[in-house]
Copies of this chain bind each other. A is one copy, B any other.
Amino acid sequence: MALDDDTRRGPEVSLLTGLDMSHITLCPAIAFNKIVGGRYKLHILCVLHRGPQRFGEIGRSLVKGGLGKPVTPRILSRELKGMTEMGLLHRKEYPVVPKKVEYSLAPRGKALLPILSEIVRWGATGAHEDILEISQTGQ
């Protein structure tokens, strides 16, 4: 009973990808949630994909596709700090006044872009809007 679980450790091959996962112990799906889980992290990657942006810019960008409410600076700060510490983002501070800080995708953040592409591709079909329509009326 090999190939029993894509997420289990052991000498086996992923049914989804055909890749050997024997060297991996933690389920990528779970790790993915721990790394970019939460309301904003994925969206931040999405926004920074176009290029470096400043703290305030990111905050404003998050409002656009996020339907409505602005992100409070505390939350945004925490997200950016966490993602920077995980090595997903790069933070560049300019010694000017008023202060200027630019965030950009670090290699580890860029490595997530193929996943993001697939999510956008999925979203382009309207699937996500269909699902959210029925489950609850807009959150």
Contact indicator A6/B49 (Cβ below 8 Å): yes
We find that the number of chain A residues with CB closer than 8 angstroms to chain B is 72
Does A39 lie at the interface of the complex (its beta carbon under 8 Å from any beta carbon of B)?
yes
Q: Of the candidates B19, B29, B108, B128, which one forms a contact with A46 in the assembled complex, judged by CB atoms under 8 Å apart? A: B29
Does A38 lie at the interface of the complex (its beta carbon under 8 Å from any beta carbon of B)?
yes
Q: How many protomers of this protein does the assembly include? A: 2
Q: Of the candidates B15, B26, B120, which one forms a contact with A21 in the assembled complex, judged by CB atoms under 8 Å apart? A: B120
Binds B, one of A72-80, A85-93, A96-104: A85-93
Contact indicator B6/A135 (Cβ below 8 Å): no
Q: How far is the CB of A31 from chain B (nearest CB, A)?
A: 3
User: In the assembly, what is the distance between CA of A15 and CA of B51, in Å?
Assistant: 11
Q: Which residue of B lies closest to A29 (CB)?
A: B42
A-B contacts, 10 of them at CB < 8 A, read A15-B49, A16-B46, A16-B116, A20-B124, A26-B129, A31-B129, A32-B128, A85-B134, A87-B134, A111-B125
